Structure 1
């Protein structure tokens, strides 16, 4: 599409946020695909996005597309029937179920996760992305709340540092992870028996996880800070697996079968995790850059306290350390098989870190300050920043979009 010479800047009153037509979406996907296609060709990237738009999480309004347009341009009014409008900036939002705990009460709400914030190179430095985020923050307060379910917050994961999105209300929260190599020399014979999880195992486990998350919030002391939790439901986990299935088929001609791992057979005493593989290397024979992400780590009885301190300064490992180490060891083996460079787990608890140390004593928690920075905008009226007034529960990879 030709670029008009009389484009307005980002503060022009004629700029507005609208939902694109299919033709307008193709324009933006073709542009942002050049930067975000990863290991895929551009045509494959476009097919992947079309496929992901039809998952249980995203169909029937689960995903919403947004573009910023200038209504003063010839042929660029609000009515999309007038012709293809020029997208000045774009993004998409995912409708997610969430829980909010406040003053002893748990509410089920919706939350919008923001992804694919994009402004083409030739349109940058005009303030379009800034204007879009300002308008989006206002729009999401009431977007899809027609059924009477509140939207109290939205989230995004910044890959451009902490400053840009903070200016428009998305405050950075703690963002950390630990990384393990895909290959390990650790002797796992002493670890508990672990079994793989498959797609057919996930529905029951996700239901248990959601119920456990709710109970955990309901049991918070009444003087606790406000807490939010994105629900780790089946639809969310399946979206990640649909993503990896598509890329796995494109690169390797097959889809992964093992979706996670579990230790234990007795209900209420099991420990498990789900994972997803993300390929970034365009050479299917190379592992560099590819990552197996632990989507969600679950201790079914809810006992997450870490190693306890003794009076002499030493620590006693929690009994779940060995179980989590067994899960991660299986993840390492899967990562090596699937041409992954590493295994990554977000927001590791002290218990999880004790497990990681069993496999790699040199492993350290990495605090992210440039990429995948978990950021949240709280919609209710408040005085000043809220990042220190809200607990983001389960800030793991499953919440990413």
Structure 2
């Protein structure tokens, strides 16, 4: 079916949500663009509708998402012999992840990130989005699986709370962050840092993967299964391509600094970040997000969510001072780019200690409505026994 029906707001004979007429299909290029035009009203941020479409086209050409890794989906019903009406749509992005097992082995698996879930206003409150997600969840279990393997899990980041997607199989996982104001910081008494550029990322991402593999091989406890989305170069480049496009479009310049690093080889600490501009008419603030924070020391084992007791203990360590130095550099970079704050997702005790060194009022905030990290488990056992390690901003789609 190559043609689409452009909605005119009048749909007297719409099928019910459980109708066999509704089908989940891979959208054609024309249908995908139609969906992007429709959802641009809500997701273009500070961009014009035309620039938003160009940004999406630019992102599809990135290494992470090209050659069919990004799949546009549509829930449709037929209208005539060669036309179909889109009532709901979304996208999925094929990604890599690591999973640990009881015997200490770590396996690389295929997963999918779900994004751009959108239902035009005239089709809402009819159950179409729920129907689409229920069907999509089943389809993704084997979608683009390598060598006939099942996909182990899929993830999404809900902006409509926790209940809707949980009812369709994507369970809410920890969704917390700590924020720091965007201010020029002198970082007195902290280690010196070196700013990272695009060409620095490949080597550091490779080291990070080895560290994650090592930690996953040791982190399995009892019947729990540790998993982590792979923070590879392609993932970081996708986020940076996004910010570079928006920066050039809004300010006429592209960000060059992609993160910061400190310390000697073998005991370094580094992070990557990205800048997100919001619509000036909306309540959201421009934010510099820490995409990924890495501690190179293999003896470092602080992976659990921050607690008051552990945070107090970490305030005497060199690692927490190194992280504080990185965050101070991020604050300065954020201020230079007109950001309002720096945000770090799902902080550990060491991360929180570092943030509190820079701002005594820094505290963990638990999100209830926006960017709820959610996971649908296809593997053995229950999602309740899955530990999502490194649940940081880099996994967002």
- TM-score over 0.5 (shorter chain): yes
* Whole-Å separation in 2 of the counterparts to 1:114 and 1:32: 15
**2:318 aligned counterpart, secondary structure:** coil
Tell me what 1:280 maps to.
278
Which whole-Å deviations, capped at 9, do the CAs of 1:15-63 have from their partners, x for residues lacking one?
A: 1110111221122111100011000000000000000001000001211
Tell me what 1:178 maps to.
178
Tell me what 2:29 maps to.
22
**1:116 aligned counterpart, secondary structure:** strand
TM-aligned CA distance change 1:188 to 1:128, over 3 Å: same
TM-aligned CA distance change 1:308 to 1:9, over 3 Å: closer
* Whole-Å separation in 2 of the counterparts to 1:308 and 1:14: 51
- 1:229–1:392 Cα contact (<8 Å) kept: yes
TM-aligned CA distance change 1:162 to 1:263, over 3 Å: same
Match of 2:66 among 59, 62, 66: 59
Could you tell me the TM-score, scaled by structure 2's length? 0.92
Which whole-Å deviations, capped at 9, do the CAs of 1:96-118 have from their partners, x for residues lacking one?
A: 10011122232211110000111
- 2:220–2:226 Cα contact (<8 Å) kept: no
Tell me what 1:163 maps to.
163
Structure-to-structure mapping, 1:2-401, within 5 angstroms: 2=8, 3-71=10-78, 73-75=79-81, 82-83=82-83, 85-104=84-103, 105-183=105-183, 187-221=186-220, 223=222, 225-264=224-263, 266-282=264-280, 289-302=285-298, 303-305=300-302, 317-380=316-379, 382=381, 386-387=383-384, 389-401=385-397
**1:66 aligned counterpart, secondary structure:** strand
Once the two structures are TM-superposed, the CA of residue 223 in structure 1 deviates from its matched residue by: 2.4
Length, aligned pairs only: 384
Once the two structures are TM-superposed, the CA of residue 379 in structure 1 deviates from its matched residue by: 1.1
Could you tell me the TM-score, scaled by structure 1's length? 0.91
- 2:63–2:238 Cα contact (<8 Å) kept: yes
Unpaired runs of at least 5, structure 1: 76-81
* Whole-Å separation in 1 of the counterparts to 2:280 and 2:307: 45
Q: Which moved more, 1:214-223 or 1:163-172?
A: 214-223
TM-aligned CA distance change 1:314 to 1:348, over 3 Å: closer
**1:298 aligned counterpart, secondary structure:** strand
Which whole-Å deviations, capped at 9, do the CAs of 1:100-156 have from their partners, x for residues lacking one?
A: 112223221111000011101011011110000011001000000153343110000
Tell me what 1:79 maps to.
none
Unpaired runs of at least 5, structure 2: 1-5
* Whole-Å separation in 2 of the counterparts to 1:282 and 1:315: 38
TM-aligned CA distance change 1:390 to 1:190, over 3 Å: same
